[in-house]
Copies of this chain bind each other. A is one copy, B any other.
Amino acid sequence: MALLDPDRLFPADERTRAVARALYETVRSLPVVSPHGHTDPRWFAENEAFPDPARLFVTPDHYIFRMLVSQGIPLADLGVPSADGTAVETDGRAIWRRFASHYHLFRGTPTRLWLDHSFQTLFDIDRRLSAETADFYYDRISERLAQEAYRPRALFERFDLEVIATTESALDNLAHHRTIRVSGWGGRVVTTYRPDAVVDPDFDGFADNLVRFGEITGCDTTRFTGYLDAHRVRRAFFREHGATATDHGHPTALTADLSRSEAEALYSRVRSGEASAADGEQFRAQMLTEMARLSLEDGMVMQIHAGSRRNHSDAVFAGFGRDKGFDIPQPTNYVAALKPLLDAVGLEPGLAIILFTLDETVYSRELAPLAGAYPCLKLGPPWWFFDSPEGMKRFREQVIETAGFYNTVGFNDDTRAFCSIPARHDVARRADCAYLAELVTTGRLAEDEAFEVAYDLAYRLAKEAYRL
């Protein structure tokens, strides 16, 4: 029994399915461009074997452990490292068996599609994961992970990754990226400038971070001008390590365009630690506009990932820290929020801002009309919870009629789960071909155009939008 249906995600209707298949045949083997994600550059720098199956698939993947938690399994029993010293499960096989015996929870989820894709294509497994097959899986995957062909660089090549972007803090020394560069290995791994630690006054250790930001750049970060210069220095440093883009993960999409003196006064308040919550929001807002201005100087593409209420559970955050599956989207407005930035620089040639949302209600109401007018705006693919077949369908159906295909940027996998990368791109390619096939059979797109768009969505738009 195969885990994967070769026609998965194609429309049920035979005629439409045939068109989807034909489109997919032309894009299935294109190289993978991964312009935004959270893989660990250490993997490619050190090229060590991955540890056991549980630590490859379960422990680091919030898609997986939060679902198990939602059905009453404690995070500690899944080996997720605690922040407060609580003892957690250390036996990989025990973790794996817990996961396996709850595999039915993932029915109907994209996680299930990604996992089965890895199990079948990477580990040649043809029986379903369950309590009964848990040990068979654990042994098979362990055995493979010990092989040279399953080390990070070998997988990178096997996955046909043309380029992958990781994401590092503005304070990161990018040592792994340098190691990769000088190693002689041909894989293209680039970084992305993520300045939250020095842009978000609510970030842990913000004041100390500003001090360090000054030290590593030689700029006077006690003053706003010097602080902006420090960004210039670090952005250049990141560009030397391949970066073509910046990334901004704010709770809202608010932007501001204060006068220089107001901005300086605001900076002075947030630096002193005496800022109010409103000051913090205002400073993040102002910095989006400043970052857009810096992008005009240096050509880096801006990404705005807005709308997540991080660490919703106080207890989970206290016990286990960030990124534990308790980040919940909230309603997010873009039309009023982005106006200050857009009035400041929204018509400037060369500026490129890619917008992401966790609030699907803005696709048709706000994002498509904005991207369908402002030359600087493009729409990122469906993000996080919406990186799924139905999420992609809703995105296409609500965005394309207003913004067209060419104000979108192809696919991002945005993952820290390395093995899921081929699966995620495959899902996106299939979902896009399914959508295009539907347009063709309903007379909304000519077939020759559909082939061209399929290529653009699978490959060209991501490279162009991210200037890779």
* Interface positions of A (Cβ within 8 A of B): 4-16, 66-67, 69-72, 104-110, 112-113, 128, 309, 312-316, 325-331, 333, 335-336, 339, 342-343, 346-347, 349, 358-361, 364-366, 368-375, 377, 385-386, 388-391, 394, 397-398, 400-407, 438-439, 441-446, 449, 452-453
Across the interface, A71 reaches (CB within 8 A) one of B13, B72, B375, namely B375
- Verify B364–A386 contact, CB threshold 8 A: yes
Q: With contacts A67-B372, A330-B336, A372-B66 known, is A401 near B442, CB below 8 A?
A: no
- Verify A128–B446 contact, CB threshold 8 A: yes
Complex Cα distance, B314 from A342, in Å, reads: 9
- Verify A4–B443 contact, CB threshold 8 A: yes
Shortest CB distance A258–B (Å) = 16
Shortest CB distance A249–B (Å) = 16
- Verify B370–A8 contact, CB threshold 8 A: no
Question: Please, which residues of chain B bring their CB within 8 A of the CB of A328?
Answer: 335, 366, 369-370, 373
Shortest CB distance A6–B (Å) = 8
- Verify B107–A449 contact, CB threshold 8 A: yes
- Verify A313–B343 contact, CB threshold 8 A: yes
Complex Cα distance, B112 from A404, in Å, reads: 10
- Verify A442–B13 contact, CB threshold 8 A: no
- Verify B373–A69 contact, CB threshold 8 A: yes
- Verify A105–B335 contact, CB threshold 8 A: no
Question: Please, which residues of chain B bring their CB within 8 A of the CB of A71?
Answer: 375, 406-407
Which residue, A9, A107, A403, has most C-beta atoms of chain B within 10 A?
A: A107
Complex Cα distance, B4 from A314, in Å, reads: 52
Closest 6 CB pairs of A and B: A8-B443, A5-B443, A12-B13, A388-B401, A108-B400, A12-B441
Complex Cα distance, B326 from A329, in Å, reads: 28
Query: Given A8-B444, A70-B377, A108-B445, 7 other A-B contacts at CB below 8 A?
Result: A5-B443, A104-B452, A112-B444, A312-B339, A329-B366, A390-B397, A391-B401
Question: Please, which residues of chain B bring their CB within 8 A of the CB of A444?
Answer: 8-9, 108, 112-113, 389
Q: With contacts A329-B365, A329-B369 known, is A313 near B443, CB below 8 A?
A: no
Question: Please, which residues of chain B bring their CB within 8 A of the CB of A403?
Answer: 70
Question: Please, which residues of chain B bring their CB within 8 A of the CB of A16?
Answer: 12
- Verify B442–A404 contact, CB threshold 8 A: no
Complex Cα distance, B438 from A69, in Å, reads: 28
Question: Please, which residues of chain B bring their CB within 8 A of the CB of A389?
Answer: 401, 442, 444
Complex Cα distance, B328 from A372, in Å, reads: 10
Question: Please, which residues of chain B bring their CB within 8 A of the CB of A385?
Answer: 364, 368-369, 401-402
Complex Cα distance, B374 from A327, in Å, reads: 11
Shortest CB distance A7–B (Å) = 6
Complex Cα distance, B360 from A369, in Å, reads: 13
Complex Cα distance, B197 from A155, in Å, reads: 63
Complex Cα distance, B316 from A237, in Å, reads: 36
Complex Cα distance, B67 from A175, in Å, reads: 43
Q: With contacts A71-B407, A72-B349 known, is A11 near B9, CB below 8 A?
A: no
Shortest CB distance A432–B (Å) = 11
Across the interface, A72 reaches (CB within 8 A) one of B107, B358, B375, namely B375
A-B CB contact pairs (8 Å), 22 listed: A4-B443, A6-B443, A8-B443, A11-B442, A12-B13, A66-B373, A70-B374, A105-B404, A108-B400, A108-B453, A109-B400, A109-B401, A109-B404, A112-B444, A309-B336, A314-B343, A325-B372, A325-B373, A329-B335, A330-B366, A331-B333, A368-B385
